[in-house]
DNA sequence: TTGCTCCTCACGTCACGTGAGGTGGC
DNA sequence: TTGCTCCTCACGTCACGTGAGGTGGC
């Protein structure tokens, strides 16, 4: 006869679990001391404990186990129980598998962004910007409406998207409410115009650029730097200016705005 | 603005769940009527609801989701969360898989027993019993000690077991306490004698047999029939008699004793 | 005496579900 | 008025875990 502690070590079930199984009547001690209330278990109960553990591993409920171990379930009924449980397990497996693979996708895309934004130069740069095919939605409104514009274009352009989201600002000044904005994505091939979404080639050329780190509210600081530089160099800036969102709120997680990365590009003559 | 019921239809989350997510602060209504307490949701919250659903599908806890959606987790931290969750999911999958395959094994073995016991003849039969290689443990004791004897032999003979458990009764009379019993299994090859477990060839021969259906306590009825028949036929019975357990308490489930099937075999001259 | 094991009882966990009892708008 | 939707509050679920407060044997 083993005390509950010894039996716990043998059966690899916690003392609490053993007491619970006693309460539930699926693993009753072989002897209980009337005075102390101590539970004692025989060697033969080890086997029963192992069977219960096995069934619990198979996700059977305590009630299910009680019924199955009661000894008065017919074979056919027992088979039904087992097959039902097998189905449940199979469902669980396939669910977990799809969840795992979409999680994998998300992890990959975050890693990709991390890789791409690892070796960024935060200085003002003069560089050549390439031509791109651009699918965009142009509207007049507030700056914070670009989010829904991206969604619109995203739905249409879908799998042809070939780079980071970007916006074109056609105004030469800052406008609170009625800004002339085009928001969209570079795409791998020209798409048919559709519900306000237009495709065109954005000509590249010589540009001055800077990568802004931080929330969008502080973008003005980087604009200031950039235009001061352009003025010093006596360049002439061309409209529209562009913002490329290297790292932003993203599709799923908002992220920390302090870590947002936005490249401002101004074409020059 | 949608009422909670409308939003429930759109988001495919129950009203109760939406109220709970409100309480937990992970999906707060966009407007709450002060008088009625009615919750109202905007279109933009649909997306958030979908993200939460996705994360719940991936088995994230409400607290985990709250943290991840708070917007102030760094990328590295976020990646850690996601990878941790991925590990959890992978563990869950592999656990469920092993559970499912052992369940499959059990189902198969029960089906096998069902098949084998489907077309059984319950009449007294005269038939030829074949020679078998038998690994057994012989002891003097009570009938209900055969269980542990089977276990002993089972552990040694393991994968060489090639048929149903059987016992040999060497006494010519019924003994309550000091019965001379050998319990074991037919095996596919002769094993070395070891800790009281002995291997030998059980010679077959002409026999009278009957299949007993029901608990072991009622076996005496079938014995009576069998020996009455032997007497009538003027056969001479040979010792030991055998019991072959076609269907019994089994390795895992006790089953219903009313359905136990035991073949009694008595060799005759 | 001390330390260890055992006991019971009540409450906590997690993500909701289930009602009871009541209100408000069409 | 009726039927429907919404509300809050309290309690239930499932398989234990956590701790408080206490006992008994070495």
Does the pLDDT value for residue A222 go beyond 90? yes
- The pLDDT of residue A104 is 95
Confidence at residue A73, expressed as pLDDT on a 0 to 100 scale: 73
Q: Which pLDDT belongs to residue A153?
A: 93
Find the CB nearest B58 among A69, A103, A110: A103
Residues of chain A contacting residue B254, judged by C-beta atoms under 8 Å apart: 69, 71
* Of the partner residues A68, A83, A113, the one whose CB lies closest to the CB of residue B107: A83
Per-residue pLDDT of chain B (269 residues; tens, 9 = 90+): 999 999 999 999 999 999 999 999 999 999 999 888 999 999 989 999 999 999 999 999 999 999 888 877 778 888 989 999 999 999 999 999 999 999 999 999 889 888 988 899 999 999 999 999 999 999 999 988 898 899 899 988 888 999 999 999 998 888 888 999 999 999 999 988 888 899 999 999 999 999 999 999 999 999 999 999 999 999 999 989 999 999 988 767 888 888 899 999 999 98
B253 and A113 in contact by Cβ < 8 A? no
Tokens standing for A156? Answer: 């249409």
- Cβ of residue A87 closer than 8 Å to a chain B Cβ: no
pLDDT digits (tens, 9 = 90+) for B205-246: 999 999 999 999 999 999 999 999 999 999 999 989 999 999
- Given a cut of 80, is residue A213 above it in pLDDT? yes
Positions on chain C within 7 A of a protein C-beta:
5-8, 14-18, 23-25
A57 touches chain B (CB under 8 A): yes
Name the closest nucleotide to B4, judged by C1' and CA.
D6
At A186, the pLDDT band (50, 70, 90 cuts) reads very high
Chain A residues near residue B81 by CB distance under 8 angstroms: none
Contacting residues 57-76/B vs strand C (CB within 7 A): 61-63
Q: What percentage of chain B carries pLDDT values higher than 90? A: 72
Which of A214, A198, A225 lies closest to A256 in space, CA to CA?
A: A214
CA closest to C1' of D18 belongs to A16
Q: How far, in Å, CA of B265 to CA of A41, rounded?
A: 38
Query: For the segment A22-74, what is each residue's pLDDT rounded down to a tens digit?
Result: 999 999 999 999 888 999 999 989 999 999 999 999 999 999 999 888 877 77
Closest CB to B107 among A82, A102, A255: A82
Residue A175 confidence class, pLDDT cut points 50, 70, 90:
confident
B6 vs A173 pLDDT, higher one: B6
Does B54 touch chain A if contact means CB atoms closer than 8 Å? yes
Q: Chain A within 8 Å of B231 (Cβ-Cβ)? A: no
CA-based nearest residue to B223, from B143, B116, B135, B131: B143
What pLDDT is attached to residue A177? 86
Chain A from 211 to 230: CB within 8 A of any B CB? none
The residue-averaged pLDDT of A242-263 equals 87
Q: How far is B186 from chain A (nearest CA, A)?
A: 24
B155 vs B162: CA distance, rounded Å? 14
Q: What's the mean pLDDT when you consider all of chain A? A: 92
CA distance B101 to chain A (A): 9
B62 CA, C14 C1': separation in Å?
9
CA A16 to C1' C11 (Å) is 15
Structure confidence by residue, pLDDT tens digits, A125-158: 999 999 999 999 999 999 888 988 998 999 888 8
Q: Given an 8 Å threshold on Cβ–Cβ distance, is A58 in contact with B99?
A: yes
Best interface-test mutation with A: which of B51, B79, B90, B99 has the largest number of A CBs within 10 A? B99
Phi, psi (deg, nearest 5) at residue B119: -110, 60
Write out chain B residues lying below 8 Å of A90, CB-based: 100
Q: Is the CB of A36 under 7 A from strand D?
A: yes
Q: Tell me the whole-structure pTM to 2 decimals.
A: 0.81
Tell me which of A86, A92, A96 to substitute to probe the interface with B (most B C-beta atoms closer than 10 Å): A96
In which order are the strands placed within the sheet that holds B125-129?
B125-129, B205-213, B261-267, B241-247, B166-169, B179-186, B132-141, B197-202
Nearest-Cα distance to chain B for A218, in Å, is: 18
- CA–CA distance, A126 with A116 (Å, rounded to integer): 20
Q: So what's the pLDDT on residue A143?
A: 87
pLDDT of residue A223 exceeding 80: yes
């Amino acid at each position: 006869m083993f005390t509950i502690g010894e039996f716990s070590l043998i059966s690899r079930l916690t003392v609490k679990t053993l007491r619970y199984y006693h309460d539930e009547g699926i693993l009753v001690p072989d002897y209980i001391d009337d005075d102390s209330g101590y539970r004692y278990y025989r060697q033969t109960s080890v086997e029963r404990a192992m069977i219960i553990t096995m069934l619990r591993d198979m996700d059977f409920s305590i009630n299910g186990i009680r019924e199955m171990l009661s000894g008065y379930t017919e074979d056919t009924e027992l088979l039904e129980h087992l097959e039902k449980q097998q189905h449940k397990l199979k469902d669980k497996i396939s669910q977990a598998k799809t969840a795992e693979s979409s999680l994998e996708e998300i992890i990959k895309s975050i890693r990709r962004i991390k890789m791409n934004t690892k070796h960024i130069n935060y200085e003002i740069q003069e560089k050549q910007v390439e031509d791109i095919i651009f699918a965009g939605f142009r509207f007049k409104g507030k700056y914070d409406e670009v989010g829904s514009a991206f969604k619109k274009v995203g739905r249409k352009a879908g799998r042809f998207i070939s780079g980071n989201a970007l916006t074109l600002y056609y105004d030469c000044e800052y406008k609170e409410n009625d800004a002339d904005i085009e928001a969209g994505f570079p795409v791998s091939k020209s798409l048919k115009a559709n519900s306000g979404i237009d495709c065109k080639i954005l000509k590249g050329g010589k540009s001055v650029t800077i990568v802004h780190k931080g929330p969008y509210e502080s973008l003005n600081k980087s604009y200031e730097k950039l235009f001061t530089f352009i003025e010093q160099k006596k360049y002439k800036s061309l409209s529209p200016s562009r913002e490329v969102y290297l790292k932003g709120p993203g599709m799923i997680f908002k992220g920390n705005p302090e870590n947002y990365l936005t490249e401002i590009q101004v074409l020059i003559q």
